[in-house]
């Protein structure tokens, strides 16, 4: 009986193409979905427990379960835009799945 032993490869990366202190460029409207749906990213906190509100889609705080005030939730327009974005991404994912399984 043989025993298989896992081996690991050493990753050696040299960052000579860019300066270490140089920041990467930000592409507006490209990768950040907030720009596409008209939502301003801003950190919000629960007034009851002061924890960060990670999802503005839910009416209750994920940490303490208390109801969140209106300013911690999406407006009707923002919620509609987010739903549209999610629907579009689901459709794109389904199309991608069909394409990859057909191959």
Residue-level pLDDT at 39: 56
- CA distance between the termini of the chain: 39
| Short-list 92, 47, 99, CA closest to 72 | 47
Residue-level pLDDT at 11: 72
Q: What secondary structure does DSSP assign to 40-77, as a single string?
A: -----B-TTT--B---TT-SB-TTT-PBPPGGGS--HH
Which residue ranges of the chain lie beneath pLDDT 50? 29-30
Q: What is the dihedral of CA 24, 30, 31, 33, to 10 degrees?
A: 140
Rounded to whole angstroms, how far apart are CA atoms 55 and 31?
A: 19
Tell me, rounded to whole angstroms, the distance of Cα 91 from its chain centroid: 18
Residue-level pLDDT at 20: 55
Residue-level pLDDT at 68: 94
pLDDT, one tens digit per residue, over 62-88 is 999 999 999 899 999 988 999 999 999
Residue-level pLDDT at 24: 52
Tell me, rounded to whole angstroms, the distance of Cα 1 from its chain centroid: 47
């Amino acid at each position: 009986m043989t025993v298989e032993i896992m081996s690991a490869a050493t990753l050696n990366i040299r960052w000579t193409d860019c300066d270490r202190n140089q920041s990467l460029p930000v592409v507006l409207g490209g990768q950040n979905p907030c720009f596409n749906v008209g939502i301003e990213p801003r950190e919000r906190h629960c007034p009851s427990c002061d924890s960060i509100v990670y999802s503005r889609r839910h009416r209750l705080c994920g940490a303490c379960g208390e109801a969140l005030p209106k300013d911690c939730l999406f407006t009707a327009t923002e919620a509609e835009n987010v739903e549209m974005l999610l629907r579009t991404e689901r459709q794109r994912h389904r199309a991608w799945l069909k394409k990859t399984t057909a191959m």
